[in-house]
A and B are shown apart, each in its own frame.
Chain A
């Protein structure tokens, strides 16, 4: 039954080496309940398909406009303008484009279809301690679907990891715990007010984190965002919160702006005021901070032995 359950995803990426141990396949769920302005996967936020437009590939032929049944593509200037509120995501413009300049991001796939791809790298998982990571978006916005996928993988002897910000109801969180060998647990701050800014609830997160620590392996993941949480005090607070909840390893992920072009493709302004990426070196001092607290701090989401 669960094999035919449909999941809305926007990507399956194989040979991931930073999303948990070993060589992994990461399934990116579409739809997120937070709104972090620095998000590097903005196409993951809406649960609906998104239209991506790659301006550099466009030759202004006008085929997309002609193909659009909603007349949502305006060609009165050199490049098309998309009335995204009129767009029904039918995909006809993408089909009509010969330059691959329009793509629809997001599709429904069944658990068994996804597993077919996931299983293809089973040998690589076995030899590296790798497996499946569900990421997003927020996979727990589709909790039953996530659980179904994780259960199937785990049942097939594949290691499972869930990357989540976990600002969801405990009932939702509970559905995946039995099938997650590892949580990559986002902790973006320790101050409830800061969480509110991005639509998250610290109390929910803490409750879920405690559950996760009791019943699975947990690695805290801290995206270090300049202007949001990059002071020593803030990182300290985050690590302490993690420690208090029983976490003993944290990965600091330096802010990057690689998602920038995706905003343009979505016809949205880049959301974050800072655009300079952080370097790994800038995060080095925090290792010591963790050590004092008895929490192992890694930088960049890599295996400890790879560093």
Chain B
């Protein structure tokens, strides 16, 4: 994940609003007003006047209330008809294709990042909206909506049925060791099918299927959805023409005319040009409510190549198009999504796709947006030209492309998801890294588990030291003094993990049931195999591979803790478990020597068999445990992901001191990377450690590496070889950050957090943190010494 400028604390935010609205059922209270996802980027406000927004939400609610669950397909499309095309925004001056939309606190969607899930109400946003209204009577209208949706918001319903007092919390309540939600994240649709058939072609396909099954309401709703698509295309075409009339700029007039014409064309017909193909794809993605976009190089490459060859487009115009698309994606501000994938195996038209890829890499270099998360798949056959272009972008300070290794990931996906390698070639990472098979699977991460918090709970007799609450469910716990061997101790921790893994698979699976009860995600279903074939919506038995993911956190802190305990308590017998636990409960106050010994124990990330071995063992226990439970539950796959966002920090704040020497409330390790300051043997050692986790048991795991700009740019060949070697050794991914000045300044202020900063001068032995500040500064500016 990229680094963000703005830091928001969703946990804290949810507490602040806790008083406002609480829902209870069967004794479990949870905060419906809490922020429902980590929203780091500020959203662009709606352009509609407040009262218009209120009218739309009221109308939406009225339509929603006029159906019941048995008519969910017709309800869905009827509700969508209220929203669109009304919620389309003005075309911005930088846009070369049309399609920007607003989201209201009430509406329809599939993810929490834009709007909400299913028929949703985002209560905290609705309250904020209410606060902006002036007239009391309008506020009362909002209150009426609020109480209606308390009963009908999909996610609230899920929470009511699934959350518990002590084990399963809501997204994102950091008091719990496990949090669960209902959402449909990461859908990457079968856009090749869309472009191949066009809207009319899809209609024919559906009509043909419907012929056998005239009563099928999924097909009926699908056709109505395409009607809606057409109305939206028409609406945007009119908008383009209207905006054309407002300007005298000849170039802009031509662009708007092209937009208007393109929209009228793709309203029904299949696209013939790059412009039309991009427009069709984009408008459909918007209406489907998806925020990850799949393998765009292979999708658009053939259109681009033809346009270039036949003189309809120049390289520079293409650059502008891609940049405009980048900007539109950035403006959606989904923070941790916006995936565009290029490169890699299994593309149908690799030569043409590469034409898109080359230009996109230039755009990535120049734009340096947080989104799209521009993703480059490579393998041992990737050309030097592509590597060099990727390094140009990274060296310029863009955090993209982020690199995925097909040589490892394709066989890993084939095993993990139980598909053949041909199918696995269409894996695509979304969100923070979770893989899906484009157009064929769901992979939404509706569960997050904190392995470290569970360890602290386990060691404290089932009570979370953070808040004194019992969180071990029915799993028995023993006094620490009873453990005579490390194996017994570890085994009992695993039993608590087992219990939570059971909870996780049930909660994930149930999220599909709850969503399917209410909605069909029709736009998504139309472009996901095998919904049309089977006449069934996505979660109603339509999707070919019903998968899911489980985000695990704190894994390295937990495994380092286990190693420290094994080493100091059971091998060296320097301390007892009870002593360590006492020290943890006092956050090491008065136990400084013990803390130093714990922190001094071997740590993952240094290429040491000891700590790395423990990490591999814990990883495989959890990853296999989750996977096997998914298969038993009847899913195609349920796999852990080890991703990196701000949750490791948020959850760390509510996780007490741990035996790896980590203080209470301190951040936890990011992704599967070492705890900050724990890896001291340089990048080869760290990458060797990372490569030890077998990719076949997870559906995505993020590895970060940072360089100073001068070091990166002056040593490109070595760094390229570093990555290629790491990939050959089993590395599945790498995200490169060439740190900017701000980070360097921070490193001087807090050198203890930058023990892993790579500093090399010929013949000079240097440990970064041991140098004086001015010398650190000099080293990092590195203009002089490389």
Contact = CB atoms under 8 A, between A and B. Distances in A.
B764 A277 contact: no
Contact of B684 (A23, A254, A259, A280): A23
Sorting the interface of chain A by its residue count into under 10, 10 to 19, 20 to 34 or 35 or more gives 35 or more
Contacts of A123: 725, 728-729
A20 B766 CA distance: 18
Interface in A130-168: 135, 163
A14 B764 contact: no
A306 B714 contact: yes
B685 A120 contact: yes
Interface in B766-786: 766, 770-773, 775, 778-779, 783-786
Given A14-B684, A265-B770, A277-B778, A41 B718 contact: no
A298 to B, nearest CB: 11
B682 A98 contact: no
B596 interface: yes
Nearest to A9: B765
A245 B716 CA distance: 33
B764 A264 contact: no
A31 interface: no
Contact of B764 (A41, A52, A127, A265): A41
B718 A128 contact: yes
B718 A23 contact: yes
B683 interface: yes
A15 B762 contact: no
Contacts of A23: 684, 718, 721-722
Interface string B694-725: 00000000000000000000111110011011
Given A124-B721, A127-B724, A261-B772, A15 B684 contact: yes
Nearest to A40: B764
Q: Which of A121, A260, A301 has the most CB of B within 10 A?
A: A121
Contact of A14 (B685, B715, B772): B685
A257 B596 CA distance: 32
Nearest to A279: B784
A302 interface: yes
B684 A124 contact: yes
Nearest to A126: B725
Interface in A247-273: 251, 253-254, 256-261, 264-265
Nearest to B595: A98
Interface string A10-48: 110111111100110010100000000000110010000
A53 to B, nearest CB: 11
A254 B778 CA distance: 14
A13 B765 contact: yes
Nearest to B724: A127
Contacts of A301: 762-763
B725 A127 contact: yes
A305 interface: yes
B772 A56 contact: yes
B681 interface: yes
Contacts of B772: 56, 260-261, 264
A17 B718 contact: yes
A303 interface: yes
A135 B760 CA distance: 14
A14 B775 contact: no
B395 to A, nearest CB: 13
A124 B596 contact: no
Given A23-B718, A124-B722, A306-B718, A15 B758 contact: yes
A257 B774 CA distance: 11
Contacts of A306: 714-718
Interface in A27-78: 28, 40-41, 44, 52, 54, 56
Nearest to A300: B786
Q: Which of B685, B716, B773, B779 has the most CB of A within 10 A?
A: B685
Interface of B: 592-593, 595-596, 607, 681-685, 688, 714-718, 721-722, 724-725, 728-729, 758, 760-766, 770-773, 775, 778-779, 783-786
Given A16-B762, A127-B724, A163-B763, 7 more contacts: A13-B760, A15-B683, A22-B718, A120-B688, A251-B762, A265-B770, A306-B715
9 contacts: A15-B682, A15-B760, A52-B770, A254-B784, A258-B779, A261-B770, A277-B778, A302-B714, A306-B718
Sorted from nearest, which 8 A-B pairs have the closest CB atoms?
A: A18-B762, A301-B762, A261-B772, A11-B765, A15-B682, A14-B682, A98-B592, A128-B721
Interface of A: 10-11, 13-19, 22-23, 26, 28, 40-41, 44, 52, 54, 56, 98, 103, 120-121, 123-124, 127-128, 135, 163, 221, 251, 253-254, 256-261, 264-265, 277-280, 300-303, 305-306
